Amino acid sequence: MSSPIERPKHFTMLRELQLADLFTLGNAACGMGSVFFAMFYVAGRDPADFFVAAALAPAAFLFDVLDGRIARWRHQHSALGRELDSLADIISFGVGPAVLAFAAGLRGGWDLAVLIYFVCCGVSRLARFNVTAEQLSAGSDKVAYFEGTPIPTSVLLTAVLAWCAAQERIGDALPGGVWSLGPADLHPLVLLFALSGTLMVSKALHIPKI
């Protein structure tokens, strides 16, 4: 008589998460919190909401740093962890800064095109890293360098936006003003997002991984 088929237990996936994965999810939670508070700011114009949204970016960065260190400390590297890390990063350091920029007043037609470009560069950079990580690690358990700037560097863009808010230079008072180019407007400040996205997808730029 054949033995009965053992069915997976409820919440099996959650049971299999490692400690580092929980910190990765903390990263994603901070990213989504940033998005929500940026939306609260758009709806209610309470400066506190904007600053909370901006503050959640470095909090996400801290979780991102800790999950990698915990994984190395416990020797628990996995394909699942790598995918979770990338998905969390695109929320916290791709979508989050783009939504905060929109809330700050980067809403011209060209602004939106640049912000979409920025997020797409972030997605492309993370996908490329995932498929080339084995090659870049050169047989070790650690990647030697990044091709292009890591997406968490976008926390610097969030810092710039927070500084603008502290100086009451958001909305119609954004540094650089606004340019009318053809059918749409562009705020020069958004070019920082274009630069960041371009650096992320550069294959010629090698950043040593510490």
* Dihedral angle sign, alpha carbons of residues 161, 29, 62, 77: negative
HEC-encoded secondary structure of 5-58: CCCCCCCHHHHCCCHHHHHHHHHHHHHHHHHHHHHHHHHHCCHHHHHHHHHHHH
Element (H, E) at 147: strand 145-147
pTM: 0.88
- Rounded CA-CA distance 126/132 in Å is 10
- Rounded CA-CA distance 103/38 in Å is 6
Render each residue's pLDDT in the chain as its tens digit; 210 residues.
455 565 656 555 555 677 888 899 999 999 999 999 999 999 999 999 999 999 999 999 999 999 878 877 766 666 677 889 999 999 999 999 999 999 999 999 999 999 999 999 999 999 988 887 666 655 555 666 778 899 999 999 999 999 999 999 999 999 999 999 999 999 999 999 999 999 999 988 877 766
The superfamily CATH assigns to domain 17-208 is CDP-alcohol phosphotransferase transmembrane (TM) domain (1.20.120.1760)
Length of the chain in terms of residues written = 210
- Rounded CA-CA distance 32/158 in Å is 14
